[in-house]
Amino acid sequence: MVRVSSTIFIIVTSVILVVANEEINLRVKRQEEDPEGPDVGSIEELCHDRPADEYFRLTTEGDCRDVVRCDNAGENGITRLATVRCPIGLAFDVTRQTCDWKSNVKNCDQLGKPRKVLPILKTDEPVCPEGRLSCGNGECVEKELFCNGKPDCKDESDENACTVDLDPNRAPECDPTQCILPDCFCSADGTRIPGNIEPQQVPQMITITFNGAVNVDNIDLYEDIFNGQRQNPNGCQIKGTFFVSHKYTNYSAVQDLHRRGHEISVFSLTHKDEPNYWTHGTYDDWLAEMAGARLIIERFANITDGSIIGMRAPYLRVGGNKQFEMMADQFFVYDASITASLGRVPIWPYTLYFRMPHKCNGNAHNCPSRSHPVWEMVMNELDRRDDPTFDESLPGCHMIDSCSNVQTGEQFGRLLRHNFNRHYNTNRAPLGLHFHASWLKSKKEYRDELNKFIEEMLGRNDVFFVTMLQVIQWMQNPTELNALRDFQEWKEKCDVKGQPYCSLPNACPLTTRELPGETLRLFTCMECPNNYPWILDPTGDGFSVK
Ligand SMILES: *[C@@H]1O[C@H](CO)[C@@H](O)[C@H](O)[C@H]1NC(C)=O
Ligand SMILES: *[C@@H]1O[C@H](CO)[C@@H](O)[C@H](O)[C@H]1NC(C)=O
């Protein structure tokens, strides 16, 4: 048998390592030639029917750190094995497809993920009567029962091909004759400007967003950026969007952000640091987490105007159709968790009545496949190349702190301006700048650079720092730059002055049976509840005893 040449095993690849709270992008070193590697014939066999993004082991001996995947992108159509090694102390979990602490990995004795039986969806001649589709074992089952979250085929294959591209009941592709503003917006590749306005007449909207708890660690940062002096070209103060998680949040500070016209949105109640909890969350999990978080904010930040209409999934782990079904039932208007990979032209937000117009690249591939009456405020990846004229192929990044190559204020400034120009000089899709406050606070030069960028942008007359809701309002009523001064939707809470509702919030020391042994402080202008609000008891009134 022919031995593969040494180059075949040399490949650089990366794997996401999930440890504690952080997703660390690990670059794995080049693996040198593996003299014991399998030969071409057995590679073909190993890779038959195996997805190119699935990692598996060649052996169960050793320390459980090494895995490979099939790479079909090689020259001459030869399939090669790309290798990855977890850092010392970690092991590769083939079920979850990630490196983790060795003690957490229970499948070192398995070579790969258990194979799932797939339904037979593509056949030259129909194999089932009309309205039915074939399971993997040839059984015919009603089409509606495929991908409904419950196995109906005896081999359960009806639940195994449910991605945006495969779900037999997926939303249809964008039909511009059916999808009409103000309620529906879509375009074939996602890049079209609403209202077919000429790019030169489109305001360049920038959405600054923050994820996480609002508290003493970051209130000063928000005061600094949104200092009340900075105004958009229409004379109104610049605005931001806050995706608030519950634990450690100071609700009197949230109340004041809302008073000053910023948008409050939800980032879940528990922010549980287990990414798969979100990816595989049930309808009830999403309901308790997101509707529960909204209830807490409304009550303890006294937000009574129904303005909390958006959400972002922790770790951007979108929960597929379940999440969006819950959103529609609970009147959430938008999600802001789906990422679009870096392309030549950025994507405008879209509604999900029709199929999403780009690949589901991150988000653990669990994007919604069905039709939902929900806006997707898509996160366009940023181009982080330090010198964009020099074409090194670095993938884009969605949160600014995941642009890990940015280390200095100067680099951050270049990132902001380069990506601004990418949006401004093409279709002027809203530019999202998504932050964790801790990153901006980690170096003074980052904060200075952001402030400098904002001032510079406000020196023009066609750039607006707006909230997610304001983006939707503009898209629903696309208005050219020269008429924007009088655009009423953007005049609300235009120039807010005055003092917070309360100068001395209650600092309620609270416990809950759900978090035994923890005493947490809840800061609010409202009355203290009996218990610390948590997932089974979001009002803090106590468990209802039935
Ligand atoms: C909570 O927020 C309010 C309003 O911004 C502020 O006055 C108060 O000092 C904050 N409390 C803590 C402990 O951060
Ligand atoms: C809560 O909001 C309502 C309605 O806006 C207002 O009447 C009330 O005074 C507020 N209460 C506190 C404590 O801020």
Domain edges within the chain: 41-101, 199-486, 504-545
Kindly give the distance from the C-alpha atom of residue 305 to the centroid of ligand 2, in angstroms, as a whole number. Answer: 11
Which atom of ligand 2 is nearest the CA belonging to 502?
Answer: 14
Kindly give the distance from the C-alpha atom of residue 280 to the centroid of ligand 2, in angstroms, as a whole number. Answer: 38
How far, in whole angstroms, is CA 222 from its chain's centroid? 22
User: Which residue's C-alpha comes closest to atom 12 of ligand 1?
Assistant: 216
The answer to whether 175 touches 410, Cβ cutoff 8 Å, is no
pLDDT in tens, 395-451: 788 999 888 788 999 999 999 999 999 999 999 999 999 999 999 999 999 999 999
User: Which residue's C-alpha comes closest to atom 6 of ligand 2?
Assistant: 302
pLDDT at 545: 46
Best substitution site from 249, 250, 499, 503 to test ligand 1's pocket, by max atoms within 8 Å of Cβ? 250
pLDDT in tens, 119-128: 998 888 889 9
Best substitution site from 256, 523, 524 to test ligand 1's pocket, by max atoms within 8 Å of Cβ? 523
Kindly give the distance from the C-alpha atom of residue 504 to the centroid of ligand 2, in angstroms, as a whole number. Answer: 15
Assign 72 a pLDDT band (cuts: 50, 70, 90): confident
- Helix H or strand E segment including 439: helix 437-442
The answer to whether 149 touches 286, Cβ cutoff 8 Å, is no
The answer to whether 348 touches 187, Cβ cutoff 8 Å, is yes
Statement: 199-486 belongs to CATH 3.30.70.141: no
Which atom of ligand 2 is nearest the CA belonging to 526?
Answer: 13
CA pair distance 419, 220, nearest whole angstrom: 27
Query: Cα dihedral sign for 444, 233, 436, 357?
Result: negative
Kindly give the distance from the C-alpha atom of residue 218 to the centroid of ligand 1, in angstroms, as a whole number. Answer: 11
Report which bound ligand comes closest to the CA of 301: 2
Kindly give the distance from the C-alpha atom of residue 303 to the centroid of ligand 2, in angstroms, as a whole number. Answer: 8
Kindly give the distance from the C-alpha atom of residue 216 to the centroid of ligand 1, in angstroms, as a whole number. Answer: 7
Beta bridge partners of 250: 523
The answer to whether 536 touches 514, Cβ cutoff 8 Å, is yes
pLDDT at 215: 97
Task: Please work out, in degrees rounded to the nearest 5, the angle formed at the alpha carbon of residue 350 by the alpha carbons of 346 and 356.
Answer: 85
250 lines ligand 1 (CB under 6 A): yes
pLDDT in tens, 330-358: 999 999 999 999 988 999 999 999 999 99
Kindly give the distance from the C-alpha atom of residue 53 to the centroid of ligand 1, in angstroms, as a whole number. Answer: 47
Query: Cα dihedral sign for 191, 195, 196, 200?
Result: negative
pLDDT in tens, 132-160: 999 999 999 999 999 998 999 999 999 99
242 lines ligand 1 (CB under 6 A): no
506 lines ligand 1 (CB under 6 A): no
Q: What is the DSSP letter of 504?
A: S
